[in-house]
Structure formats: C-alpha cells, structure tokens
Amino acid sequence: MTLLDPGMDLTLRPMRYPDFYDRFRAAIRNTWTVEEVDLHSDLADLARLTPEELHLVNRLVAFFATGDTIVANNLVLNLYAHLNAPEARLYLSRQLFEEAVHVQFYLTLLDTYLPDHDERVRAFAAVENIPSIRDKAEFCFRWIDSLGELRQLRTRADRRAFLLNLICFAACIEGLFFYGAFAYVYWLRSRGLLSGLASGTNWVFRDESMHMEFAFSVVDTVRAEEPELFDEELAGQVTAMLEEAVAAELAFAHDLCGDGLPGMSAEDMHTYLRYVADQRLARLGMPPRYGAENPFAFMELQDVQELSNFFERRVSAYQVAVEGTVSLDEAF
Amino acid sequence: MTQELVAPTTPLPIAAEVERACAGLPDADPRRVGAAADLAEAARQAASLVVTDPVYSTVAARLLARSIAEETGPVTFAESVAAAYAEGLLNERTAAFVAGSAAGLNALVDHDADDRFTYFGLRTVYDRYLLRHPETRRVLERPQHFLLRVACGLADSVSEAAELYGLMSRLAYLPSSPTLFNSGAARPQLSSCFLLDSPRDELEAIYERYGQVARLSKYAGGIGISWSRVRSRGSLIRGTNGLANGIVPWLRTLDASVAAVNQGGRRKGAACVYLEPWHADVEEFLELRDNTGEDARRTHNLNLANWVPDEFMRRVEADEVWSLFDPKEVPELVDLWGEEFDVAYRAAEAEGRFVRQLPARRLYGAMMRTLAQTGNGWMTFKDAANRACNQTAEPGNVVHLSNLCTEILEVTSDGETAVCNLGSINLAAHVTGDGVDWAALRTTARTAVRFLDRTIDRGFYPTPEAAEANRRWRPVGLGVMGLADVFFRLRLPFDSPEALALSTRIAEEIALAAYGESATLAAAYGPHPSYDRTRAARGVLHPDHWPDAAPVHPEEWDALRDWIGQVGLRNSLLVAIAPTATIASIAGCFECIEPQVSNVFKRETLSGEFLQINTYLVADLKERGLWTPRVRDAIKRADGSVQGVEELPDDLRALYRTAWELPQKALIDLAAARTPYIDQSQSLNLFMASPTIGKLSSMYAYAWRSGLKTTYYLRSRPATRIAQTTVTSDTEAVFCSLENPETCEACQ
C-alpha cells in the first residue's frame, strides 16, 4: 500500500512513516499561544509611521486576515482526505490546530491595530475588494478546487493533480505568499518597528516552515513510492505555477510599496520572490528557474539563532512536553 | 587625545564617506556598500554585510558615528552638558561642575575612541543612552560626550573624571545600565537591582509592596521579591471566616502592575518572584509561566525562582518525603537557614503541621519540567546563599532571596529593601599578547570600586526602605564580562584545566583589589555603618569559608585581613557577576562569564535585530583561506557550529565549541571554583539543547553539590525551527547539528 492509495488506514503499529509521527511530536513541543505575544508595544510605532508605511501595514494585515483560513480549508478538503496514513493525518490535525492559532493571532492583530470597527470589516472584505489580495486568493481557490469532486486518487492523473495541489500550497502559498509577507514584517523589524508583530511572526514563521517541510517530505515519500509520477511535465507544471505565484505576489508588492520605501521596493521584493521560488524548486529536486540572489540582508538574520536580552523580550525558543523522570546520575 | 575645538569637517558626499569609513580596513570594499540617501542608511547597509565579513561592523560603526556628529552639529562637551541642563535633563551639581572645568574637561574628549565600537555597540548607545532633546528627539551629545558625562556625574575633580572616562572610553570598564542612563541626570537613580522581602501576610502589607515595586520599577531597577510569607490556598482568613485563595491571584496583580510600569520609556519593567519550596502553593507557582491551562492562573511577565533549602535537596537525593506548609501556620521557616531551619522544619513536620506531603522527587521533577518548558523557575540555594554571606553574622539578618538576575545576595527585612550598584570589567581589554595583565586588571578594579562606592551617595532612591538599607550596608557588585574573549585570545578551551585556573585567578585578583580598595575607602571615610554586624568585623573574609580554595596569593590575603581588622570595610559586599547583556554589547565582548552561544547569532533587542559573528573564528578561518561562502553557509546551516567544518584543525574546533556543545559540568566547575572570591553570586546560565527531566535533575543536583549559591536561566532550543531562507538548500548532505544528533559524531 502506498501513501496515496485510497482508503482509511488505521494502523499505527507497525508504523509506515515514523518521520511523520516525529514531526507531529516535534510540533507539539513548540506549542505557543496568542496570549504570549505582546502586540501592545506596536501601537506607539503605528502612530509614527509615514502614510506610505501605514498603507503597507494595513494591506499586510488585510492579507493576513484571511490567509491562514484558506490554507486550513485546503488542508481539510484535500490533504486530509487523500493522505492515507494515520500518522500523516496526526500531523495534519496538528497543523490544522496551528492554522487556527494563526487565524486567532491575526485576528488579535487586526483588532489591536485597527480600533475602528468599520476598518476591521473592510480588512476582511479585502479578499473581495482589493485587487492585489483578491488575485492571490483566487489563485488559492482555483487550486483548492483543482481536485474537483475527486473522492479517491485512482489514476495516475488523479495523483498528479493531488501532487500539484500539495506542492501549490507548500511552495506557492505557505512557501511564497507567506514568505513574502514575512519579509515585510522583518523589514519593518530591521528598522526598529512593530517588534510585537515580528515576535508573533517568529512563531508563525516557525510553524509555516514545518508545514512546508512536512509537505515536501510527503512529496519525497510519494516520489520514492511512485517515481513514475515525476517527470518533465510535472516539473513544467510546477514551474509554471510558481511563475504565476511570483507574478501575483509581485502585483501585491507593487500595491504595498508604491514608488518604494527606504530599504524596500517592489523591485527588490521581485528579486527576493524569484530567489525563494528557486529555493522551492531546488527542494523539489527541480532545476532553478530564475538564478536570483537574496537581496534582503535582514532575512539573513532569520537564519541564525536568537540570543534575546531577557529583560526586553520573550524568547521564542522554549519547548513544551519534556520527557523523563528524576534521576541523579545521568550524563549532562 | 584631540582637543575639541575644530568644528566637524563639512559633510562629504555619501560615497566619499563610505570610502573614508573603509580606510585602513583591507577586507572592506566600499563598492559593496550600496548607494544610500544619508549616513544612517549607509551605516545600515554596511551593517547588513556583517555576515559576509565582520569588518563591515567597523565600517558601519564609523558611518554611524559620522551620522551622530552630523545630528548634534559642532558642539563641545561643555556645550552639550549646558544644553542638556537647560532642557532639565541634568542635575545642577553636574552642570556646575562641568561649567566650572569646561576647558579641562573638553580637552579630555577623544572622539577617535569611537573607533573601538562595533556597530551594534554604537547603535545601542545611540538608540538608548545618548541624551535627546525632549521635543525634537535629536541627540544632544556624541558617544564620547556621553561617557564623559557619566564620569562627571560621579567625579569630584577633573582628574577623577579623566580616570573613570579613560576606563570607559577604552571600554575596559562600564558601569551598569542605570548608571549609564542616569549619572548626572536630574533624578540619578543609579542602582541596578532591588530586593524586597516578602510582604507580611496581610492585605495592607501586600498592597504596600505593589506600590514599592512600582516606584522602584519606574526608575529602571530590576526587582526581586519574595512571596514566601503569604498564606497558602485554603488557609483560614480570621477577619471574614473565609478561605484564602493562595498566592496566585496576588502574583497576577503583581504581574499586571510590573507590565504597566514602563521603565522611563526605555524598557518594560521586570521582576522575579522567589518562593521557598515548602510553601503549600509551590506547585501552582511552578505553573505560572505555562502557556497552557487557565489563563487566569498564569503570569506572563513575571520571572520565577525557587529558593531552595539544603534539606529539600537532601531529601531528593535520598528519595524521601517532603512536607508543604502554610506560612500562616508555620511562619518561622522564612527567617531560618542552615541547621536551625532543618531543626524547625523537622519539628513542624513531626508535629503534623503540614498542609500535605509528597515525594520530594515529584516536586523536584516539576521544578525541572518548568525549567525545560519556560527557562524559568531558577534554582537558587538558600543555605549556600546565607552561609558565607558577610551580612549574616548575626541572627535575624537573613538573605531571603536573590534579585532579578540571581547574582545579588543581600539581607532584607520588612523595612529594608536591599539595593545593589553594579559595574563590570571588560576582561577582553586586559589581555596582553600571552596572558592577562594582572596589574592593569587590579588598577581597573580599584577605580571601579571607588566609583561604585560613589554611586551609593550620588544615587537617588525611589523608596526610603531602599535608601536606608543602602546607607547602612553600602554593598556594591563588581563583575566581569568578556571571559570567553580571554579564552579565545589565549586559545584555551572552556573546559580545559588551564581555563579553570585562569578564570579562578581572575576572580581572586579582582576580589583582592576590590577588598583592598574598600579598606582604603574605609580608612579615609570610616567603615559602613553596620560593619560591626558583619563577618568581616569578626575577622572572617569570604574566601575563608573555603579552606581548600588554595589562593594564588595567600600572603596577600593574610595582610589584607589584618588591615581590614584595623580599618574595616567601606562596603559590606563587593563582588557579583551580573549578566551584562547590554553593556557587553556596548563593549563588544561576550557576556559576563558565559561561553559563546553560537559562532553566528542574532541579537534581538528593543532597537532591532543584529547579526553577530565570532570575530576570533573569522580571523582563524581567514588565515587558513577558509572564510568562503561555502564554509559560511555550512556554519549557518549548522546553527553556528563549526564541528562540521572538517578543514578546521581539531584544536580550533574544540576552541570554538558553542555553549550547546560544551559539557555543562565545565560551566558549573568554573563557577564553583570562583565562588570563594564572589561574595555575592553569579548569573550562571546553563544550556541544554534537548532537555529531559533525567538530565536536568542530575545537572542541578550537581550544581547544588558543587556549592553554587544560585543558577540563572536554563536555555534550551526550539523543538522545530524556521526553514532557513538564505542558505542554499542542501538536504542530501548531513551536517553536524544538534538537531540531528544521531547523525553527528563530532558533538557527542
């Protein structure tokens, strides 16, 4: 039996994919709650933003308002339905919880940043009214619907359609749309702005990274089980899909940045997105499409471990769920 | 030194400024610093190149220094002080002193000393320490003006100011942040930490404590407060015939109060609550920082510490039962330590006065769980803290808690709030070619003690309880930073016997100089008022409690003891090793006594995120032609570890191990060996990437057996991590990483 074979496998012993189970457990150890994030300190920063910066932040908040809900929908409608291993579904259940926490985080963010009730309503309506956000949402919806009413992945074509959906949400949505949005947050952070948003984003970013890694690990598994699904045509489709995502995210960047802000422009963001897209292709074992270099030095910072000054901010590095019992002679 | 008469040269075009900032730095290429609209942006651009070469930190710092000079305009030191005084930012004494010696003080200013700053250090100074105009928010002083102003706030003469300024501008010594913030200020609150005794077990006393905490917090002091006297949940309230809700609701109020008080707009208030583990609410206390469970029983801002008596640890070792008491029923335990505590505890237990009992190991396991999950719930040891404390010679004088950073140990009582003024010697600035310059180290320590003592009299105290205690005991805490720099410079692995010997000798030399200077001050001004109540007055100095310590200078200690017998001491306590998070950034060295956490790490502070690279490692890699993009990526991918860089010789790989890769036993052994010379305590962080209850319980039991007085955070790593965005993904190659210990042999 392979991972994409239809059915409702219930067997955990012997376990076919212990890697998925390990990811599930690691995710639990990284539980965080919205109450731990201090967004209030951002209010003083908001008051001193320029109109251009404020526009960017408002658009960003509007995107975040609905982004994770869309991902959660695809998870339930497509991924959970077709990944037929209980350990994989354990991970997906956990991911669904994390998406819910993200939704709560961004709702709290919106309620904190936008004191006006009507503005809050407008932020949620952005997915219909603001073209740069609507286009990204439509891209997502199209891929959610791409499997149609498919209840079981019987044919090679079904499975390839599923793979494209999985890759789309990992590489284009979590791995590109969200990564683009995070870059704006860290750009603001590098200028000493909105550290509350950045500290929450650290946690969201960590979760999203794991979601993406899980999806890619599913791809690796399917590739090992059914190598014939992977051919030039699939690579071409993935590249085309990424090109479309880069274009949508670039339009969003033009909307956010206008004529450019200090240290941030649509042009730089375009380079960054192409760089990220190449990274996704490389992870999928596909040739790079753009050959772009990372233009954002502040993103380098996200790759190295943090050493927080404990007086000043809560570190995001602690784990929950520790194991073992008291003993006095273990090596340490 | 350059006389400060010339106006700054007319600003050059930015590109020319960048050229200039790269001058004399062969590895810095001005063309790599992109176009910028102004100097500040050019500085940021240069700083973003630090990951490719740490030399750009110097380039960025030079650009930032130019940018600051542009912001202040041409101004001399005396003019900057006069302007700040006119805006009400400085006190009259300092302003008058500077005005009266303007020429002499102006001549001291050495702007070239700015070149010693790293970008992060100067950025920190600029963002947070330089005085700003209240309305325009433009800085009123340049970095060297700031350091000289701090010196003038404490000096009585130009030569005194020159002495302290000289140490600071060489980054050889820095006072703690409150002194840097407030020296010479209109309200000169110069103390770092305050220790409040537990409120008495009554409503009015509890609310009085909230008020005291708020007033102390407002002036940027870190708070330690005990809660061990307050009755536990279910205890009878006679006045109303109701039952008490225990300590958690009170601590929630404290939590909210601490968060509400913003320290002078500079950083959030911070406090640590201490509780003795016999308190019947201890298990709920340990859950206060959990991020699961009922939020109404959580405190997200408070730090937590366990104030652990030896009796508890002995019962853990013997796997015996432990009794929990309501302090309302058994009030005597709080004020006892050592054998008297043991006797009273066992008597109360035998009389059945406990609320309930549980296996000691179950509670100990819960403490370890809290440490692993939150880093909080610090293990501090009540009996070790009291046994050798100079202030506890007489019964009734008891150390009830430590402070926010677990390095201060001073007696408290209901009417006495302990205070400590801190400063730290940058050890990195005292290394010569092949060793530590002991004479220079002692000179620095003596100057430091003289000015720390001065802060006691110049400081403003937010509460009478603090003023009173500090006047009586006059404690100071001289510490160190940059120990890891010393080891890197001298090529001593952290866990080598040579490192242990050197670190211990550093502590001894500093203690000798500090005690000597305090005796000199006592000879001139008299001993501190409560000197007669100290162990020193009884002929016992702190190291005497460790007969096996084997000091390097036994005859000097004997002579010093005799002299102190004649003149006394001006300060009841002298040495404490604080965490130095911020001032080590300013000085550009590793923090206090800590090993490096990573060869490449990100520092998050209120002013943004900054990348730091181990410059010693980079120099070694460059020498071998290994500072290449491939090696850089490999180090980043391995989270700052070099164990996978095979081209690097074994001895260097051993030298550049990170805190996660060092045996923690070595950290504890180093701390234990210097304990005889640390009359207060040390902020000792411990590191464990993937903690388990078993490993933690063994480690903390070892720390207790080694005689440590306190420990600080347990640092662990996230269970999952952010996908790296800026290193090329290379999933095939297995790199040494603590995330996949099974595949890595180098770190085992």
Is B412 a member of any domain? yes
Q: Which residues pair with B279 in a beta bridge?
A: B325
CA distances from B413 to B232, B468, B570, B690 (A): 21, 12, 22, 40
pLDDT of residue B52: 86
Residues B163 and B216 both lie in one domain = no
pLDDT of residue B739: 30
Query: CB–CB of B698 and A302 under 8 A?
Result: no
In this structure, the number of other CB atoms found within 10 A of the CB of residue B574 comes to 29
Q: Which H helix or E strand runs over B357?
A: strand B356-359
Residues in B closer than 8 angstroms to A326, CB to CB, are 316, 361, 364-365, 368, 693-694, 697
pLDDT of residue B469: 94
Kindly indicate the confidence band of residue B604, based on its pLDDT and cuts at 50, 70 and 90. low
Q: Which residue's entry shows tokens 């390990």?
A: A22
- Which of A36, A212, A297 minimises the CB distance to B48? A297
The structure tokens listed for A251 are 């339009």
Residues B139 and B227 both lie in one domain = no
Question: Where in chain A does DSSP place strands (E)?
Answer: 306-308
Q: What is the mean pLDDT of chain B?
A: 91
Which of A211, A300, A320 would best serve as a mutation to test chain B binding (most B beta carbons within 10 A)?
Answer: A300
The structure tokens listed for B292 are 């699961």
Side-chain half-sphere CA neighbours of B432 within 13 A:
7
Among candidates B703, B675, B593, which has minimal Cα distance to B389? B675
Residues B12 and B112 both lie in one domain = yes
Query: CB–CB of A317 and B361 under 8 A?
Result: no
Which residues are CB-neighbours of B36 under 8 A, at least 6 positions away? Answer: B14, B18, B42, B44, B45
| Cβ–Cβ contact B369 with A under 8 A | yes
pLDDT of residue B270: 86
- Which of B291, B374, B699 minimises the CB distance to A332? B699
Q: Which residues pair with B682 in a beta bridge?
A: B577
Which residues are CB-neighbours of B636 under 8 A, at least 6 positions away? Answer: A303, A304, B51, B600, B724, B726, B727
φ, ψ at A251 (rounded to 5°): -65, -40
| Cβ–Cβ contact B713 with A under 8 A | yes
Is B136 a member of any domain? yes
Kindly indicate the confidence band of residue B730, based on its pLDDT and cuts at 50, 70 and 90. very low
Listed range (A196-200, A273-277, B4-8, B520-524) with the worst mean pLDDT? B4-8
Residues in B closer than 8 angstroms to A263, CB to CB, are 41, 44
pLDDT of residue B1: 42
Residues B244 and B379 both lie in one domain = yes
**Residue A267 Cα, gap to closest chain B Cα (Å):** 15
Among candidates B514, B521, B500, B552, which has minimal Cα distance to B679? B514
Q: Of B418, B444, B477, which closes a domain? A: B418
- pLDDT at residue B167 above 90? yes
pLDDT above 70 coverage of chain B, percent: 93
Residues B36 and B123 both lie in one domain = yes
- pLDDT at residue B501 above 60? yes
Listed range (A220-229, B606-615, B682-691) with the worst mean pLDDT? B606-615
Residues B342 and B220 both lie in one domain = yes
- Which of A26, A212, A328 minimises the CB distance to B701? A328
| Cβ–Cβ contact B597 with A under 8 A | yes
Residues B117 and B202 both lie in one domain = no
Residue of chain A nearest B604, judged by CA positions: A308
Report, as ranges of residue numbers, the positions in chain A whose pLDDT lies below 50.
308-313
φ, ψ at B175 (rounded to 5°): -70, 165
The 3-state DSSP composition of chain B as helix, strand, coil percent (nearest 5) reads 50, 10, 40
Q: What is the DSSP letter of B408?
A: -
Q: Which three-class secondary structure state does DSSP give residue B250?
A: helix
Which pLDDT tens digit goes with each residue over B271-330? 999 999 999 999 999 999 887 777 788 888 899 999 999 999 999 999 999 999 999 999
The structure tokens listed for B367 are 């403490």
Confirm whether residue A208 is marked as ligand binding.
yes
**Per-residue exposure over B491-509, b if at least 16 CB sit within 10 Å of its own CB, e if not:** ebbbbeeebbebbbbbbbb
Residues in A closer than 8 angstroms to B606, CB to CB, are 192, 195, 312-313
Among candidates A297, A257, A273, A256, which has minimal Cα distance to B41? A297
- pLDDT at residue B10 above 80? no
φ, ψ at A193 (rounded to 5°): -115, 145
Query: CB–CB of B608 and A206 under 8 A?
Result: no
Kindly indicate the confidence band of residue B722, based on its pLDDT and cuts at 50, 70 and 90. low
Which residues are CB-neighbours of B303 under 8 A, at least 6 positions away? Answer: B270, B271, B272, B273, B376, B378, B404
Side-chain half-sphere CA neighbours of A72 within 13 A:
17
pLDDT of residue B744: 26
Residue B265, burial from CB neighbour count under 10 angstroms (0-12, 13-18, 19+): exposed
Is B162 a member of any domain? yes
Query: CB–CB of A294 and B317 under 8 A?
Result: no
How many CB pairs (< 8 A) connect A and B?
214
pLDDT of residue A36: 82
Which pLDDT tens digit goes with each residue over B361-410? 999 999 999 999 888 999 999 999 999 999 999 999 999 999 999 999 99
- DSSP string computed for A147-214: GTT--S--SHHHHHHHHHHHHIIIIIIIIIIHHHHHHHHHHHHHTT--HHHHHHHHHHHHHHHHHHHH
CATH number at residue B372: 3.20.70.20
Q: What is the DSSP letter of B744?
A: -
pLDDT of residue B719: 66
Q: Of B170, B202, B222, which closes a domain? A: B170
Dist CA B478 CA B167 (whole Å): 14
Residue of chain A nearest B661, judged by CA positions: A332
Peptide bond into A14 cis (omega under 30): yes
Among candidates B682, B694, B703, B672, which has minimal Cα distance to B372? B694
Q: Which H helix or E strand runs over B146?
A: helix B143-154
- Which of A26, A302, A305 minimises the CB distance to B720? A26
Residues in A closer than 8 angstroms to B608, CB to CB, are 189-192
Domain locations in chain A as residue ranges: 38-302
Contact between B193 and B221 under an 8 Å Cβ cutoff? The reply is yes
Residue B322's domain comprises 193-418
Catalytic residue among B91, B106, B386, B403: B403
Contact between A105 and A113 under an 8 Å Cβ cutoff? The reply is no
Chain B, 670-699: which have a CB under 8 Å from a chain A CB? 688, 690-699
pLDDT of residue B733: 30
Structural domain count of chain B:
2
Residues B91 and B211 both lie in one domain = no
Residues in B closer than 8 angstroms to A184, CB to CB, are none
As for the ipTM of the complex, it is 0.77
CATH class, A38-302 region: mainly alpha
Query: CB–CB of A313 and B728 under 8 A?
Result: no
**Residue A37 Cα, gap to closest chain B Cα (Å):** 9
The structure tokens listed for B207 are 């609310």
Quick one: angle between helices B39-47 and B55-72, nearest 10? 160
Is B608 a member of any domain? no
Q: Which three-class secondary structure state does DSSP give residue B267?
A: strand
Read off the pLDDT of each residue in B352-369 and give the average, rounded to a whole number: 97
**Residue B374 Cα, gap to closest chain A Cα (Å):** 6
pLDDT of residue B723: 62
Contact between A113 and A44 under an 8 Å Cβ cutoff? The reply is no
Residues B127 and B251 both lie in one domain = no
Confirm whether residue A128 is marked as ligand binding.
no
For residue B493, the Cα-to-chain-centroid distance in whole angstroms is 23
Residue of chain A nearest B702, judged by CA positions: A328
Confirm whether residue A211 is marked as ligand binding.
yes
**Residue A128 Cα, gap to closest chain B Cα (Å):** 31
Dist CA A49 CA B377 (whole Å): 39
**Residue B530 Cα, gap to closest chain A Cα (Å):** 33
Confirm whether residue A68 is marked as ligand binding.
yes
Dist CA B105 CA B604 (whole Å): 36
Is B378 a member of any domain? yes
Contact between B355 and B326 under an 8 Å Cβ cutoff? The reply is yes
Is B615 a member of any domain? no
pLDDT of residue B665: 97
Residues B140 and B227 both lie in one domain = no
pTM exceeds 0.90, yes or no: no
Q: Which residue's entry shows tokens 């942006």?
A: B41
- Which of B598, B605, B697 minimises the CB distance to A304? B598
Residues in A closer than 8 angstroms to B688, CB to CB, are 332
Query: CB–CB of B717 and A319 under 8 A?
Result: yes
Residues in B closer than 8 angstroms to A209, CB to CB, are 720-723
Quick one: angle between helices A117-129 and A51-74, nearest 10? 60
Residues B253 and B395 both lie in one domain = yes
Dist CA B658 CA A70 (whole Å): 41
What amino acid positions of A are annotated as catalytic residues? 106
Chain B, 603-622: which have a CB under 8 Å from a chain A CB? 603-612
SS (H, E, C) B455-517: HHHHCCCCCHHHHHHHHHHCCEEEEEECHHHHHHHHCCCCCCHHHHHHHHHHHHHHHHHHHHH
Contact between A309 and B120 under an 8 Å Cβ cutoff? The reply is no
Q: Which H helix or E strand runs over A143?
A: helix A131-144
Query: CB–CB of B726 and A192 under 8 A?
Result: no
**Residue A106 Cα, gap to closest chain B Cα (Å):** 18
Q: Which residues pair with B305 in a beta bridge?
A: B274, B378
Q: Which three-class secondary structure state does DSSP give residue B379?
A: strand
φ, ψ at B237 (rounded to 5°): -105, 110
